[in-house]
Structure 1
Amino acid sequence: MKLPTYTLFIGNPGVGKSTLLNAIIGSVQFESGVSIGTGLTRRLQLYQASDDTVIYGDTPGLDDLENRKLAAEEIKLAFQQDKGGLIKLVFVVTTESGRVRASDMATIRLVLDALPDKSIPFGILVNKVSQGLRLKLATSVQAREDFVRSFACLGPEYSPPKLMFYERMDNLDDQENVVHDPAPTLLEFLDDLEATLVQPERVQDIKHQMAAELLEELEKERAKKKADISGWSTFVDGLGMGAGAAGMAILGMILSRN
């Protein structure tokens, strides 16, 4: 009997998880839109595709002060489905001042640290990439290297993630429950992402109470510009690169969108 594969989208409120999942599925299965001060998704939501071995999961945002404890419990539940099965793990993030937000990186760390094996394969989908940032990354070596340093908090104990950029679509801003045609590269990204077996009984509680402390630590690290990625295996196909080489890999991804 073939095990089901759960494609789980995890990320903070407002990063666009539900909109992306609706695009992949081709219909509105997850509520999306604007919710002031908190996330729209409060509970784990699952959608089983026509092929009953493919299941998509939308999780609540961990960086939600009002619902952080509940969000942590629901994300843990996503890894503990009764059916068991393989997991494809996708973290959806957005950028601020040319880098992935520290709050998004904190969420990635907290979730990975709760899993029995921190080296689980995973993807990072950088959503809502503006034309301005795309141009900057395509033309500036410094911008690319600064962007790479967004990931400096992922040490060697974590697997090098696969990375995907998804452009901002202005026609989707503040729209509720809309479905757009997904870029072919998004579907390819999901197809190529490795699925792995997670033992449900070994998944620990997500330490949501540490979120503020971890976020402060990451922001201080950035402010002092002490992030050193020289010893970190890159997120690009598992190759070992420094900031410059990884930045060139980012350039290739950006230019491939032309």
Structure 2
Amino acid sequence: MDDIIKIIEKIAAVPSFSSYEDRLHPLMNELLEKVPGSELYHVPDNNLVAAVPGNRDVKPVALTAHLDKINHFGESPPDRLPFHDDGTRVTGQMDNTAGLAICIWLAILAEKRSFPPLYLLFSEMEESYGLKHHPHLLKNDGKGLHHGIGAERISRFLISENMLPQAVITVDTTPLFKEKKGVALYSEHWNFTGCEPGDPEKKRTDVVRNQLTEIDPDLFVSNNTNDYLHYGAELNRDKSAGIPSLAIEPAIYPYHTINEAVHLEDIARVIRILERWLERTE
């Protein structure tokens, strides 16, 4: 785990608060330079899309995570945010440092594994917290922004560039387990978005959910809100698209505060699940 912990520490340190996600762009570019053949696209305003070559001739899979952290530090945040690794948990602004690091790590593994091509979708403004509680800390007081705008912009970019993936897996963190370890799986965005799924989307979602729970039968199948809702809704406006959007999330506790913590065992578990799933995706 040493290498991924180093990635987590680097990402955790950057004060990439909502509307200031571009502060993280140089580091993401630096990390992706370690991925042979990767191509990075900037999607206005603060979103990134990376295309990573695969070792099989199949449609790409999209892995997503959000770039923004919640600003719990006020108007004068430190240049480098705190981070701690006690050998069991990593502590800092782990929402969504953990998800970003997992996506980057899987991209690094891709060269030597039997993975499909990957799209890494790194979004702005997943968090609604700042808009609700302290809009004055956002650029331009948050005007023109809303929760999920990054995932919406990325989805429109993928459609316009004919870069539609076969599936979208969002990696975020979940508060559902409180202080206990665990990994959750979300799969039915339509329960929140109100977008009635077409038959292709529903059938393919069932397939992917079953594949993931077969790999790890102890996954906690539930539902909650994050960018997977927006990818599911936007990419399936054409009901024939049939692009499943799911989320897989390690536990985080405490949540939406300073010193959020994620168990290293849960991070390793998510990586193992996605490694196995990517190797069997057709």
Instruction: Specify the TM-score bucket, using the shorter chain as the normaliser.
Output: 0.3 to 0.5
State the TM-score, normalizing by the size of structure 2.
Answer: 0.34
State the TM-score, normalizing by the size of structure 1.
Answer: 0.36
